Amino acid sequence: MAAPMQDSRRAARADAYENPRPELQRHVPAGAQRVLDLGCASGALGAALKARGAYVVGVEADPAYAARARERLDQVVEADLETLDPAPLGRFDVLVAGDVLEHLQDPWTVLRRFAELVEPGGAVVVSLPNVRHWETVFAIAVQGRFPRRNEGVFDATHLRWFTLHDAWSLVEQAGLEVEEVERRIRYRRAGGAKETPTARLIARVPGPRAFLTYQHIIRARKLTSSERT
């Protein structure tokens, strides 16, 4: 099991990990009945989905977060995603992996294993930071360093990094078909991704959007057996 999160790091990442994540909610189908939330943190996102009528199961490695999530969700499993056997969790029509896969040693295998729990035609929502964001290019090419921080693209606990191409490949190798990509725009190093008219315009312009996208949200569909052969 992963070590408990330090208080200083939890405080720094509170905005990302302890809010209801409306940007993820909107990619979860309105009629979702059973949702599996990987890395559910404090359960804020799952609670919002539960309020919509879904039965929500969360998996969380941090004991403090897991305890808080148990107060909100239908079921919470405190475990490491890389060692947990997914099968006993049951079947789901939606799987959510919100900013958790980049913290794993082998996110490809983890996503494949948990995607097996999704019913054919079900939805999978994955969000990942974009390592191609301008700040990475500036830090490496201009400053000659790779920062380590408590949150963001340079979160010190990130073990894997993804461009859109890499994130797309991660999803497809799990037997999923990408249906939509939302590009979350951020101009500055500090602060959250923008949802302004300007940001929405940038997100539609090939070229600049690749370097101003701070996070990719991918909604995919679980393929049927016949579609995978």
Closest residue by Cα to residue 122 from 146, 96, 141: 96
Task: Report the alpha-carbon angle 26-18-146, nearest 5.
Answer: 95
Give the CA distances from residue 209 to residues 109, 133, 199, in Å, rounded to whole numbers and listed in that order. 29, 9, 9
**Full set of structural domains in the chain with CATH:** 7-228 (3.40.50.150)
What's the pLDDT tens digit per position in 90-123? 999 999 999 999 999 999 999 999 999 999 999 9
| CA 188/CA 206 separation, integer angstroms | 19
Query: Residue length, the chain?
Result: 229
pLDDT at residue 14, as a whole number: 64
Residue with tokens 């919470």: 76
Instruction: Please say if the pLDDT value at position 36 is more than 90.
Output: yes
The residue type of 166 is D
Return mean pLDDT, the chain: 90
What's the pLDDT tens digit per position in 143-199? 999 988 888 888 999 999 999 999 999 999 999 999 999 999 987 665 667 678 888
DSSP track, 160-210 = --B-HHHHHHHHHTTTEEEEEEEEEE--SSSS--B-SHHHHHHTTSTTHHH
The CB density around residue 146, as the number of other CB atoms within 10 Å, is 9
pLDDT at residue 1, as a whole number: 38
| CA 28/CA 118 separation, integer angstroms | 13
Report which secondary-structure segment, H or E, holds 124: strand 118-129
Instruction: Please say if the pLDDT value at position 35 is more than 60.
Output: yes
Which residues, including other chains, have CB under 8 Å from residue 136's CB and lie 6 or more apart?
153, 154
DSSP track, 41-57 = TTSHHHHHHHHTT-EEE
The whole-model pTM stands at 0.90
Which residues, including other chains, have CB under 8 Å from residue 88's CB and lie 6 or more apart?
none
